[in-house]
Amino acid sequence: DAKTTQPPSMDCAEGRAANLPCNHSTISGNEYVYWYRQIHSQGPQYIIHGLKNNETNEMASLIITEDRKSSTLILPHATLRDTAVYYCIVRVANQGGKLIFGQGTELSVKP
């Protein structure tokens, strides 16, 4: 079973920051938080991942709370092309590196 909980849907205005929350209260010390997104009719696209520290790349920022029980993905300036389903995944050790997807958050970016 997925170890994450996300809101089923969110809206964001174009040009504004999109903040997508994720709860993972049972995460273990060596497990990473991964974010992927899936645009309709495409495969999941890797966005970012982290263990303890906040991370930033060209696509997004990942903020992980100090107790590691929750995290937030931030898209700093959302565009219409960011409309997608966003999956927060805790990657579990000793299971072949597999990704166990939850239901995700459907983000709609509106003009």
Partner 1 sequence: DTEVTQTPKHLVMGMTNKKSLKCEQHMGHRAMYWYKQKAKKPPELMFVYSYEKLSINESVPSRFSPECPNSSLLNLHLHALQPEDSALYLCASSQGWDLNQPQHFGDGTRLSIL
Q: What DSSP state is assigned to residue 106? A: E
Task: Verify binding: residue 93, partner 1, rule CB under 8 A.
Answer: yes
* Choices 8-16, 18-26, 30-38, 61-69 (CB under 8 A): range interacting with partner 1: 30-38
Q: By CB under 8 A, tell whether 49 contacts partner 1.
A: yes
Nearest to 68 by CA among 18, 36, 26: 26
- Residues 111, 12: contact at Cβ < 8 Å? no
Sign of the CA dihedral running 75, 86, 66, 48: negative
Position 42 contacts partner 1 (CB under 8 A): yes
- Residue 101 binds to partner 1 (criterion: CB under 8 A): yes
β-partners of residue 55 are 62
Among residues 68, 87, 105, 109, the one that binds partner 1 under rule CB under 8 A:
87
Positions that interact with partner 1 (CB under 8 A): 2, 30-32, 34, 36, 41-46, 49, 51, 87, 91, 93, 95-104
